[in-house]
A = this chain, B = another copy of it.
Amino acid sequence: MSLVGDLKAASGAAPAEIRGRIRRGEWQRPTAGLAPGYAQANLVVVPREIAYDFLVFCQRNPKPCPLIDVTDPGSPEPAYAAPGADLRTDVPRYRVYRRGEVEAEVTEITRYWRPDLVACLLGCSFTFEAAMRHAGLPVRHIDEGRNVSMYVTSIPCRPAGPFHGPMVVSMRPLSREQIARAVLVTGRYPWAHGAPVHVGDPEKIGIRDLARPEFGDPTRIAPDEVPVFWACGVTPQAVAQAARVDFMITHAPGHMFITDLLDEDLAAG
């Protein structure tokens, strides 16, 4: 197709059309900005044997792990979030883990698929960032064309089975006048991390140096701005890695699954 690689054209396309291009190998780049208005999702694929503990972990930590769909064991179809889609091929880039280590980064996982695998989709910050921008709030890392800053905190997740560890957060700087609006706007989306977990004072949540995020890029903070922290969808991956689960597949950072759900479907109500 002549549109391959044309972000502007792709961004206006419907989710199913974009997933088709991804499936055909025509789009292997990050998905930020594609299909505006539609929710994108984090992917975590685990064997049925540990899926129970993973579901309980998500239930116990809904802010970092807002579950929006779980497939039947062996089925790669997210029947709620995108009927007809195939989670083995419709994500631009995947990471395959064995015992907590990345074994491969691939563009489809057909050869890794097994009848006992369960795919979990979790809401993603793109949803609330779009809402922030609609509300006239700055999203610095987008404005400056960088990845969001992410930090490992001292906030413990509630453990479940082998899954335990600290919450990972993402950070966006805001002026003091913008904080209340940002809380209200993002708090509407409990299935996309919801309201911030912390405002200001990074040391209180175990972050020593804002300039050195554990994941992503550093973010410029203006002198009159406060760092605001949201629970981050990297948390379940970090926790599963730390638990050294035998086998797990996730999306590669930034290469999300594009659902048929509207961002508004991840709102409360």
Contacts and interface: CB of A to CB of B under 8 A. Distances in A.
Interface of A: 48, 51-52, 55-56, 59-60, 67, 69-70, 72, 79-80, 158, 160, 183, 187-188, 190, 194-195, 268-269
A147 to B, nearest CB: 26
Contacts of A160: 72
Nearest to A267: B268
A51 to B, nearest CB: 7
B269 A187 contact: yes
A16 to B, nearest CB: 20
Main secondary structure on A side of the interface with B:
mixed
A101 B190 CA distance: 37
Contact of A158 (B51, B80, B190, B194): B80
Given A195-B269, A268-B268, 19 more contacts: A51-B52, A52-B52, A52-B55, A55-B56, A55-B59, A56-B70, A59-B69, A59-B70, A60-B69, A60-B70, A60-B80, A72-B160, A79-B158, A187-B268, A188-B268, A190-B190, A190-B268, A190-B269, A194-B269
Nearest to A48: B52
Nearest to A187: B269
11 contacts: A52-B52, A55-B55, A55-B59, A59-B67, A59-B70, A79-B158, A80-B158, A190-B269, A194-B269, A195-B269, A268-B268
A3 to B, nearest CB: 35
Contacts of A60: 69-70, 80
Contacts of A56: 55, 70
A161 to B, nearest CB: 8
A41 to B, nearest CB: 14
Contacts of A194: 268-269
Q: Which of A56, A183, A187, A194 has the most CB of B within 10 A?
A: A56
